[in-house]
Each structure stands twice: as C-alpha cells, then as structure tokens.
A and B are shown apart, each in its own frame.
Chain A
C-alpha cells in the first residue's frame, strides 16, 4: 500500500475514533450526535427490519433517472451547441450564469405543475446535473484535435463512424468528469428536494427522524447516504484516473 493511501486511511480512522471518543465521554451530548459505532449498528437494524429499503429504492431510482436523462440530454445538447458556433457564442454567457441559479426555487412551481410525486425532485436533480454535463461535453469536443478529424477523413470514414470511433473516445475522459459531477449534483437535487417537501425517500426520512428526535434513524440514514455517495464517487474516480493515466493526461 502506498504511503499516501495509508495516511488517508489513518486520517479517516482517527477522525471517526475521535468523534466516537467525544460522544462516549459525553463531550458531545446524545441529543446532538450518537457515536459512529451506534450509527452503523442502527443502520444495520433498520436494514434488517426492512424499514428503509422502500425509501432507498425511491431515492436511488429518482437519482438514477435524473442522472441518466441529464447525461443523454447533456451530451446531445452539447454536441448540437458545439456544431453551431453562433448558437454557442449566444448561449455561452447563459451557461456560465446558470450555476448561480438556485434551482430549488423552482421546486414549489414543479410541485404545482406535476403534483407531490417523484417528478419534481427528478426535475430538480436533472436541472442541477444537465448544465455540468453540457459544459463538460463542450470541453471534451473542444479537445478533439483537428488533425484527428483530418486523419478520419483520409481513412474515408463516414460521419457516424468518425463520431463513434474518433470523437467519442477522444472526448471520453471529459465526458467522464461530467458524468461524475452529474451523479453528485443529482444526489444533491433529489435528496435536497426530499428534505423540503415530499411524500417519501431518504431525505424525507432524515427530516422526519429529525423532527421526531430520533437520532439513531437520522444518523443511520446520513451514514448510508454518505457511504453510498463516497463509494460511487471513489470508484468512478479510480476508473477515471486509470483512463487519464493511460493517456498521460495526469
């Protein structure tokens, strides 16, 4: 194991141990936070009792739909904008300003339009994720060297073959970055929406447990979301690093 990896694990373990100690010693009160070991235990109990599976499924499905649609729409929209330089010049400032929009302000409007179901939160997750996907697609397409396209033409490749075998693999690392961020943003959008107003899902259950002074459930679910997002993100990160290293990009 590399030194950096060992140090990283060390820092994590030490932090958890410190929190555990502070909770056990009573420095952090039981109404504020429960020890990490009890969070894990509580999560285990909830899972065994089958109490949280439906909410997990509901949240992860909503995130999945938001991620999938933002990736497809983002790549297609990015490709179209890239092909039309004038359109791009027009909307570039808008794309840059998009980040400053707190998408959540549209949530009440979506509920009015679609009702209190899962569609509004998928919309929020989608809106958070799609812009970053468009921007990363544009970035990836910008990095396709003209000489590679020229080579494709000399090889008498069709437009479809060029797109599939030259442009797509060339832009892949940047699309990958976009996908990674789209997943993170979709999670924020969906879970955040559930906190604000919804009829179910992990965010809803965390909020419910909070109002109910049910710290074991609240911290168990927080732990679950945290671990899930971390595992997904670290897996993608490792994959991305391998992809980039092969090309000498990092």
Chain B
C-alpha cells in the first residue's frame, strides 16, 4: 500500500509517504491533533483527500471504502439492539453469507475472543473492554486483509490494554492480515508494532519510522526487555518537541 495524501482544505496532513508491507504490524504515534485519525480515515476511504494517491494491492483508493478493509474505532461501535452473537454476524449477514457459514465463523470468533459465554448477552451488559472485543470480532469474521485500528483501546485501563494487546498480536499472527494501529500510547506502539511511524505536529508528516525488530511470535512480556525501554525512549525523544508544539498550538486563542 502506498499513501500520499496531501493538503486538505484544512491542512491536516503534511506530505506523507508510507509503504505498508503485506502482513506487517505498523503503528502510528503522534501528538494530539496531528492528523493520525485523519490519516486512517483517508486510507479507509472515509475522508476525501485533495492531493496524492493511495493504493491497496495496486488498486487505487478513491471515494468509498475499499474491499477487504476492516476498521475498529475508539468509540464503542457495538450495536446495542443486537446480542453479541448478532453483532459479530452483522457484517457477514450484510454480505449475504450463508447461515451455516455465519454460524461457524461467528462461533469461531466468539471462542477466539473469549466471548462464548456472552454470546446471548447485549452490549449494555458488558464492560467497555468486552464491547471493544465484540467490535474487533465483528471486523475479524469478515477476514479483512488490512485492519485499521483507531485507538481501539483508548478508553480502556492500562492492564486491560496490555491483555488486549496480547490478543491483538495473536489475531494478527493467525489471520496474517496487515495491521495499521493509530495510538497515542508510546508503550503500546513499542510493544505491538514491527514498525512505528512517528508523526509531527499538524500538519502531520512522518518524522521517522522506527523499526522495533521484535520477532513475529511475541507478547506483552517483552515490556520487561531492555529493548522495549530503548524503543519507547527513542519514540519519546522524537515526539517530545512535537508534543510541546502541539500543546502550545492548542492553548493559543483561535
């Protein structure tokens, strides 16, 4: 994939040149308001862009969401009127997949996400972390080749985030999908990703792309390794100045 969205009417993103490799886990960190989420929306075909080009597997992304793309957002997107099972089956039903296959895939996803006991529950009965799992499961059963995650754990507490990170790594390995994770948590990016793109303050562009060098088979215990501290430290040294800039910019009268 190749992304080069340019200036929008609000100059949200600076020139960005990003080449995602098939099957990699790429994280984007940046100061608040730098356009991380805009980048995701543009790649997903949810926001129009004025300059540049995006292509997935050689096919250009224009208006509209490309095929084989899944996305999970920070806000709870579970459908409150459907049970967990029906929530997960929603996208499959939308595509007209057969009943038997839906049942099989949803049952698999329930197991994978540890939701089997809650299949008949409604989202209102679940915790925030579980609801986010429902949303992830709903995306995964569609077997997307590219998964975009916009701060999916943003509303969760630290311990839950680490555990969800483990699950995410597991899913990523099993599905062999390409993952693009937008996050403001440096440790999350350092722990999960193969590569971390560090964005500047608005208009966001990549200051540097940091390679973590983690093995494919990894989990949250790598936070105990000295490399983890080094990577997180590197990310922060790149970001510190930018975050200050963003903070000053935000406090300026508009």
- Asked if A153 contacts B65 (CB within 8 A), the reply is yes
- Chain B residues, Cβ within 8 Å of A153: 46, 65
Among all A-B residue pairs, the 3 with the closest Cβ atoms: A248-B124, A147-B75, A247-B80
Q: Please provide the chain B residues from 52 to 83 with a CB less than 8 Å away from any CB of chain A in the complex.
A: 64-65, 67, 69-71, 73, 75-77, 79-82
Is B122 an interface residue, CB under 8 A from the partner?
A: yes
State whether B80 touches A156 (Cβ < 8 A): no
Taking beta carbons and an 8 Å cutoff, which residues of B are in contact with A?
A: 44, 46, 64-65, 67, 69-71, 73, 75-77, 79-82, 90-91, 94, 122-125, 135, 142
* Chain A proximity of B179: nearest CB distance (Å): 15
Choose the segment among A6-14, A32-40, A93-101, A166-174 that binds chain B (4+ C-beta atoms closer than 8 Å): A166-174
What 0/1 pattern do residues 153 to 177 of A give for CB contact below 8 A with B? 1111100010001100110100000
Decide if B65 touches A156 in the complex (CB within 8 Å).
yes
A246 within 8 A of B: yes
- Asked if residues B94 and A148 are in contact (CB atoms below 8 Å), the reply is no
Count A-B contacts at CB 8 Å: 59
- Asked whether any CB of chain B lies closer than 8 Å to the CB of A199, the reply is no
Given A147-B75, A161-B94, A248-B124, does the pair A154, B81 have CB atoms closer than 8 Å? no
Q: Which chain A positions have C-beta within 8 A of B46?
A: 150, 153-154
Chain B residue at smallest Cβ distance from A173: B81
A145 at the interface (CB under 8 A from B): yes
Q: Which residues of chain B are within 8 angstroms of A145 by Cβ–Cβ distance? A: 75-77
A235 interfacial by beta-carbon distance below 8 Å: no
- Contacting residues, chain A, for B142 (C-beta < 8 A): 155
A227: interface (CB < 8 Å): no
Is the CB–CB distance between B91 and A147 below 8 Å? no
Scan A215-250; emit 1 where CB is below 8 A from any B CB, else 0. 000000000000000000000000000000011110
Interface size on A, residues (CB 8 A): 21
Whether B79 contacts A169 by the Cβ 8 Å rule is yes
Q: Say how far B161's CB is from chain A's closest CB, in angstroms.
A: 19
Give the most central of A153, A156, A165, A172: most B CB within 10 Å: A156
Residue A61 interfacial (CB < 8 Å): no
Closest chain A residue to B124, Cβ basis: A248
Q: Which A residues between 137 and 196 are near B, CB-CB below 8 angstroms?
A: 145-148, 150-151, 153-157, 161, 165-166, 169-170, 172
B151 to chain A, nearest CB (A): 12
CA distance A151 to B142 in the complex (A): 13
> Do the beta carbons of A154 and B124 come within 8 Å of each other?
no
**What's the Cα separation between A161 and B91 when bound, in Å?**
12
Instruction: Identify 8 residue pairs between A and B in the complex whose beta-carbon atoms are under 8 Å apart, listed by A's number.
Output: A147-B73, A148-B77, A151-B77, A155-B94, A166-B79, A247-B122, A248-B123, A249-B124
Collect the chain A residues with CB atoms within 8 Å of residue B80's CB. 170, 247-248
